[in-house]
C-alpha cells in the first residue's frame, strides 16, 4: 500500500492537519486501494495531542483529529514512507541531510503546486492563524494531491520491484 508521511516541527499543527486533509482527498479522489497516511515532527514531543485550534478548525470541516498523537520522526518512518511531504524547507533539508539514502522521496508540499515556500506555523498564535493554515493546506492538498499520490504509487512500485 502506498505510504505518505507529512512532516512539520512538532506534529501538533501543520502535519496532522495536512495528514487529515490528504486522507480526505484520497477518499474523494483516489479511493481505489488502501493507503497508509501519517505524520511526524522533526522535534515532536511524542504523545501530545494535536493543538486545540487545529482540532477545532478541522472538526468544523467534518474531520477528526481527536485520536492524533504527536510522533518524532525516526529512521524507521523515513524508510517506510514512499513519499515524505514536508511543510517547510528546513524540514526537507534536515531529512535529506540525515537520511541521504531517502532524499529522493522528500518533497515540499508547496512546491508540488509550483510555489516552493514554507507553510506558516500558527503554533501559539490566535485561532485565525490556524484557520488560515488549514485553508492554505487544503488548497495545497487539492492542487498537489494527485502528484503526491502518483509519487507514492511509483515509489511503492519501485520498492517492490527491487
What are the catalytic residues? 8, 14, 121
With CA atoms as reference, report the closest residue to 79 among 67, 95, 66. Answer: 95
What is the tally of helices (H) and strands (E) in the chain?
A: 5, 4
Dig out the grid coordinates for 134 from the structure: 488549514
Dig out the grid coordinates for 102 from the structure: 531517502
With CA atoms as reference, report the closest residue to 140 among 88, 93, 69. Answer: 88
Q: Are 14 and 45 in contact (CB under 8 A)?
A: no
The conformation of residue 84, written as its DSSP 8-state character, comes to: E
Amino acid at each position: 500500500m502506498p505510504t505518505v508521511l507529512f512532516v512539520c516541527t512538532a506534529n501538533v499543527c501543520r502535519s496532522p492537519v495536512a495528514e487529515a486533509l490528504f486522507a480526505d482527498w484520497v477518499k474523494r479522489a483516489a479511493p481505489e486501494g488502501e493507503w497508509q497516511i501519517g505524520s511526524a515532527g522533526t522535534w515532536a514531543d511524542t504523545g501530545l495531542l494535536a493543538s486545540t485550534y487545529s482540532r477545532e478548525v478541522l472538526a468544523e470541516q467534518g474531520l477528526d483529529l481527536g485520536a492524533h498523537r504527536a510522533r518524532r520522526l525516526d529512521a524507521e518512518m523515513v524508510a517506510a514512507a514512499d513519499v515524505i511531504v514536508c511543510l517547510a524547507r528546513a524540514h526537507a533539508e534536515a531529512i535529506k541531510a540525515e537520511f541521504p539514502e531517502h532524499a529522493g522521496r522528500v518533497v515540499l508540499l508547496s512546491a508540488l503546486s509550483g510555489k516552493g515556500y514554507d507553510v506558516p506555523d500558527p503554533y501559539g498564535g490566535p485561532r485565525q492563524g490556524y484557520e488560515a493554515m488549514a485553508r492554505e493546506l487544503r488548497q495545497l492538498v487539492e492542487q498537489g494531491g494527485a502528484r503526491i499520490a502518483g509519487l507514492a504509487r511509483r515509489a511503492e512500485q519501485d520498492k517492490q520491484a527491487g
